[in-house]
Structure 1
Amino acid sequence: MATFLENKVYHDDDSLFFSENLDQITQAKFQVPWFYRAEFEVQSSYAIVDNYLQVKTHGISSRADIYLNGALVVDKNVQAGAYAGRTFDIGSKAIPGKNVLLIRVYPTDYNRDFALGFVDWNPYPPDNGTGVWRDVEIKQTGSVAFAGTPRLATTLDGTVQMKADVRNWGSASTTADVHCKIFDPKDRELTNLGLANGVTLAAMSVQEISMKFKIDNPLIWWPAQWGEQPLYNVSCTLSTRGQLSDVMPNVRFGIRTVTSTLNEFNDTTFFVNGKPFQVLGAGYTSDIFLRFDENKLRTQFLYVLDMGLNAIRLEGKQEHPFLYELADETGIMILAGWECCDKWEGWSYNDEGSGEKWKDADYAIANASMRHEAAMMQSHPSLLAFLVGSDFWPDDRAVRIYVDALRAFDWDIPIIASASQRGYPDLLGNGGMKMDGPYDWVPPNYWYSDQLGAAFGFGSELGAGVGTPELRSLKRFLSSSDLDDLWKHPRKGLYHMSTNVSSFYTREIYNEALWARYGAPTSLENYLLKAQLMDYEATRAEFEAYGAKWTAERPATGLIYWMLNNAWPSLHWNLFDYYLHPAGSYFGTKVGARLQHVAYDYLTRSFYLINRSKSSLGPCTVEAELLDVNGTTISKTATRTQLSPNNSTRLFEMTEINQIRDVALLKLVLKGNDSVLSRNVYHLTPKPDTLDFDNSTWYHTPVTKFSDFGALNTLPQADLSVKTLIKMRKPAGHIHVKVTLQNRSKLPAVFVRLNLVDFFDRPEIDDDGSVDVVPVTWSDNYVTVWPEETLELEVNFRLGGQLATRAVRLEVDGWNVAKQTVGVSIKGGGLQE
């Protein structure tokens, strides 16, 4: 499918993903083998002794025959498994000049093959991900070559242990010299290691070489929230008889340690460089057709950091080497691992999955897969752990294969048995993670309870199922009747949810809450406004609760929100939509995951002071003001306290909340050194949502009585003034704009949305020819402005790409704020207010 799209047979930008068009593609054409063909030249090189040629595979889904010049190199029984990268000698089949490499891939079946599936995340791609999805390399060397990348293990005192495998392709024994250089993060050579000289290699053998060195005054690699990401570099050459035989690509590494422990509750806690590390992350997915876009990934990682998250989880979506390199550069930690619900978990005790049970040949594929992925990942400081199981743990034979493979590649970080508490193998013990849901909507007080997925222990995948795109994104993949279904038919199955046989094919649970809490929508626009408020509230509460309970009696040691992104345009399970536009779920997360923050506990009506940094910020002030919807202050207080590092503290209960009649607004502000560290507004009712935990399912906890926010629907319009000022033009066309919101009313301006748009002379893009500006980052958004308050926000975006560079404007509206548009003029390369 990716090849069809690249060659314009199909078009995902304007038709393939629209409405139910994807369902119209016949699967028959993908039920036969397909061929990939490439030509390459074989040339002799005076600098290389002899000439040996190898083909290296890294990702073919899921079985393939490989031919060179018409001769079979290896068949589908050997080249099997989407991650089973292998190296084959093709020297005897190569010829001088032009050579033809041909790969025949066989149809993938998720239940039969070790592939990259999407479970119930979205409709299955028509080709089931069949094809060459990672690079295939042709490598020319001398008789002695490096077999894979080196493994590096570091300690905080600067000791580095490096190991590498060297292969003799020749039919006679030989002696080889290995020479390595180490460079610091500023690319200055630190040491010249003429080590492992005179290594004797038997014919057709592989031998491990090892070298240890010490870096003085080492620069320590930290996750982004805690510090910098200095990366060292090592490069090596291999020579025989005084002439170059192979060159190892440069490998970057960071000096850091990662460990984990199980506490008395069997909850996993990770430690980075010896410090307890609370994981606040989200589940990442590949593109539905396994296309890989480095620029898109850069934006996705930019958003991860902007939201304050520190990790992503890859459930069977190990992606390309660039992902790990970018994570190293940006300080995002990675929980890698295999996926659930298909062949990967075809165990006799798995009563939920559909994968075929493993046979002897399957264990060999699993071994090759694990060894290839271990070799690719091992040197990256961004790796936090590898989960060898997801919903279920592997059987004893598979666990031994996985563990031996990882340890053979000097894996120096935790190996986790599974992401759930269904069971575990003796070899690894309890994985220390829970998978008790929810996956669909729950109210904010759910997260402060002591049951199921609430804020205790390590939640490996959980969330309120939210992630509603805004209108311009929706119009790119929904027809007018599809848009009507969103708010006129709240129980209808929707193609752009999960698969039609899943528990998530409708928005029925979500919509029941929306109708009950905020009233029946009066239009599509009204529905989307209420949905964004629901999404914002849901993600903020989840991340706030886990932050608040980080140092509780039973600590909340980590959470992976389900999910970060979508494989295709979707109506749920994301923190930003497929088109990279952030909305309510994004900005709720951004508030809830702030490094320094004060949060409201919906259950006990108390406040928590949160400091996720590793530094103490000293004395600070917490200000709380409770306001009714008419703008009258019910209560106002301020408290001086301290911000301890990497900690959370319960402050006090706000009893005045009992005085709320219908709906009130609570503003919490955290100040340190006279600067605002966090500002946060909640909408509250005197009676919270009532949860029925006894009737919970694996994905949802019912609500027997909903909160009533109907009073918000009768709010008078607020008078909001909006001004923009371009503060600077950054390099490469990056623009930094200050936006000033001034509420000139005596009542609050509730849930104010701000969005940058660009206008084209192309009405087919949208009714007015406009598109959302992406990527874009805001200091805050979807904000509530207090009566007569002035609030300053900042937004960053860049010129180029889709931007017309002449008509960027700021759209502003809100719950009780009329829509207005403010110009941000960009003319002739100059910038004007």
Structure 2
Amino acid sequence: GVGSDQHVIGSEDVISEISGSSGVKMLGPYAYTAPVYWFTDTQFGGAYGFNTETGPGAQVPQLESLKKMIPEDQLWPMGKSWDYHCGRYEFSDLSRFTKAIEERYGEPGSIVEFDKKAQAMNYELMRPMFEAFQVEKKKATGIVQWMLNAAWPKMYWQLYDYYLNPTAALYATQKACSPLNLIYNYGDNQIYAVNDHLYQVKDLMARIRVYSIESEILLDEQISLNLEADSSQAIYKLKELDGLTTTYFVDLRLYNGEQQEIGNNFYWLSTKEEVLDYDADLGPFAFHTPSKEYADFKQLNSLPRIELEETHSFERDGSNQQLEVILKNNTEHIAFLINLKVQEKESGELILPIFWNDNFLSLLPGEQRKLVATFNYEGEAQLNIEGWNLG
């Protein structure tokens, strides 16, 4: 222990005869992990006990950071320069991450396409890790993400990178840890309402909608509910639906008694279930549970290109600036994974750090959303809006 010369604390689990099991574990995973794992695993890092160190693997930085890390002539296709910015041993390349992208989202044909698919997967893999521990809060006492940020320019384990540029995983974490939240459980196909407050919240209304890949609404349910303090409860089981496409969307909204929206969550799901391979031979260090069958999100590649209506304004107090953005989707199609960036007007360089109330969001047909960002910059800034199917 601390202050002793004993470097190896123990070679096996020891359970106290007095207090019993502590529930503390450090069994990973540390590499690519499908969303369903966190809700269903009962052997390793799933949502039970206190997981003191874990994460779903690589969180690849956004394109602007990749361009700083890797020489232009080695940026695409991926090669050894990418591996140099990975880890050691089992984490020395991105092969598990790239295989999952190819199987689930389709093989990228360019660095730009890889960037958008990598950020989609960063978001999709990080959110359920935290949400599973929210849903199972009575038996899952805590989780520590490995890790918050990067000490040098790298591909693995970061909510924001060496340059302070957030990956989509940061906003997924932000969404998952909302104190009042509606959550999709990948394990039992149910919607859960979670209240992290230490007081009861009454007169809430949950709205659950399912959309096809063509943005056709297939289900629209409203449920009144009260939430006890520090609680998690199943409120709705998704039913089999006619017209459900291989890739589909689930939109969750939570309203207070005045019909004001106080929470939202948006999922892209697949009728093709991801199947975990618990029998895979990973050697003495079972650092993740791989998939032997993958979900299928390739229909996202067929989303029609759309334009958003937007207005924005900057307010300044010295070098402290606040940006307010109003986005409106006037089309009949979902705007998927919108990514807002603020740049230096003269150079086009990203202004970092920056703090958004939300990002990598999706907008339903006809929906309007207000976004707010704060940052510190002396000069003139400009807004850049990107998205999976924008432009």
Q: Provide TM-score, normalisation by structure 2.
A: 0.92
CA contact (8 A) 1:625 1:667 kept: yes
Alpha-carbon offset, residue 688 of structure 1: 1.6
CA contact (8 A) 1:599 1:609 kept: yes
CA contact (8 A) 1:668 1:679 kept: yes
CA contact (8 A) 1:696 1:702 kept: no
Q: What's the % identity of the aligned pairs?
A: 28
Cα offsets for 1:648-696 (capped at 9, x unmatched)? 1111201145752221111001111322221111111112211112326
Task: Provide the residue aligned with 1:464 in structure 2.
Answer: 56
Alpha-carbon offset, residue 482 of structure 1: 4.0
CA contact (8 A) 1:776 1:796 kept: yes
Distance in 2 between residues matched to 1:639 and 1:466, nearest whole Å: 37
Task: Provide the residue aligned with 2:154 in structure 1.
Answer: 570
CA contact (8 A) 2:340 2:383 kept: yes
Cα offsets for 1:213-243 (capped at 9, x unmatched)? xxxxxxxxxxxxxxxxxxxxxxxxxxxxxxx
Task: Provide the residue aligned with 1:786 in structure 2.
Answer: 364
2:33 to 435, 442, 449: 442
- Write out aligned runs for 1:706-721 (5 A): 706-721=294-309
- Write out aligned runs for 1:57-72 (5 A): none
Task: Provide the residue aligned with 1:809 in structure 2.
Answer: 382
Task: Provide the residue aligned with 2:264 in structure 1.
Answer: 679
Cα offsets for 1:800-826 (capped at 9, x unmatched)? 4xxxx12x11111111112xxxxxxxx
Pair 1:642 & 2:226 matched: yes
Distance in 1 between residues matched to 2:221 and 2:302, nearest whole Å: 28
CA contact (8 A) 1:635 1:656 kept: no
The runs of 5 or more residues in structure 1 that have no matched partner are 1-336, 348-391, 395-420, 761-768, 819-833
Task: Provide the residue aligned with 2:132 in structure 1.
Answer: 545
Task: Provide the residue aligned with 1:385 in structure 2.
Answer: none
* RMSD after superposition: 2.4
| Greater CA drift, 522-531 or 459-468 | 459-468
CA contact (8 A) 1:464 1:539 kept: yes
| Aligned amino acid, residue 788 of structure 1 | G
- Write out aligned runs for 1:47-58 (5 A): none
Pair 1:596 & 2:257 matched: no
| Aligned amino acid, residue 721 of structure 1 | E
1:484 is paired with a residue whose SS is coil
Task: Provide the residue aligned with 2:83 in structure 1.
Answer: 494
CA contact (8 A) 1:485 1:492 kept: no
Distance in 2 between residues matched to 1:781 and 1:584, nearest whole Å: 8
Alpha-carbon offset, residue 592 of structure 1: 0.8
1:703 to 281, 291, 301: 291
2:199 is paired with a residue whose SS is coil
Structure 1 pair 658–687 and aligned structure 2 pair: CA distance change class (3 A): farther
Task: Provide the residue aligned with 1:532 in structure 2.
Answer: 119
Task: Provide the residue aligned with 1:275 in structure 2.
Answer: none
Structure 1 pair 510–779 and aligned structure 2 pair: CA distance change class (3 A): same
Distance in 2 between residues matched to 1:508 and 1:589, nearest whole Å: 24
Pair 1:774 & 2:352 matched: yes
Task: Provide the residue aligned with 1:512 in structure 2.
Answer: 99
| Aligned amino acid, residue 29 of structure 2 | P
Distance in 2 between residues matched to 1:593 and 1:646, nearest whole Å: 13
- Write out aligned runs for 1:720-731 (5 A): 720-726=308-314, 728-730=315-317
Alpha-carbon offset, residue 522 of structure 1: 1.3
Moved over 4 A (4+): 424-431
Cα offsets for 1:21-50 (capped at 9, x unmatched)? xxxxxxxxxxxxxxxxxxxxxxxxxxxxxx
CA contact (8 A) 1:634 1:656 kept: no
Structure 1 pair 813–685 and aligned structure 2 pair: CA distance change class (3 A): same
2:90 is paired with a residue whose SS is coil
Distance in 1 between residues matched to 2:185 and 2:178, nearest whole Å: 16
Structure 1 pair 750–432 and aligned structure 2 pair: CA distance change class (3 A): same
Distance in 1 between residues matched to 2:206 and 2:247, nearest whole Å: 23
1:626 is paired with a residue whose SS is strand
2:376 to 798, 808, 816: 798
Distance in 2 between residues matched to 1:613 and 1:578, nearest whole Å: 33
Pair 1:733 & 2:319 matched: yes
CA contact (8 A) 2:341 2:384 kept: yes
1:693 is paired with a residue whose SS is coil
CA contact (8 A) 2:158 2:167 kept: no
Distance in 2 between residues matched to 1:758 and 1:344, nearest whole Å: 53
Task: Provide the residue aligned with 1:454 in structure 2.
Answer: 46
Q: Provide TM-score, normalisation by structure 1.
A: 0.44
| Aligned amino acid, residue 248 of structure 2 | A
Task: Provide the residue aligned with 2:278 in structure 1.
Answer: 693
- Write out aligned runs for 1:11-160 (5 A): none
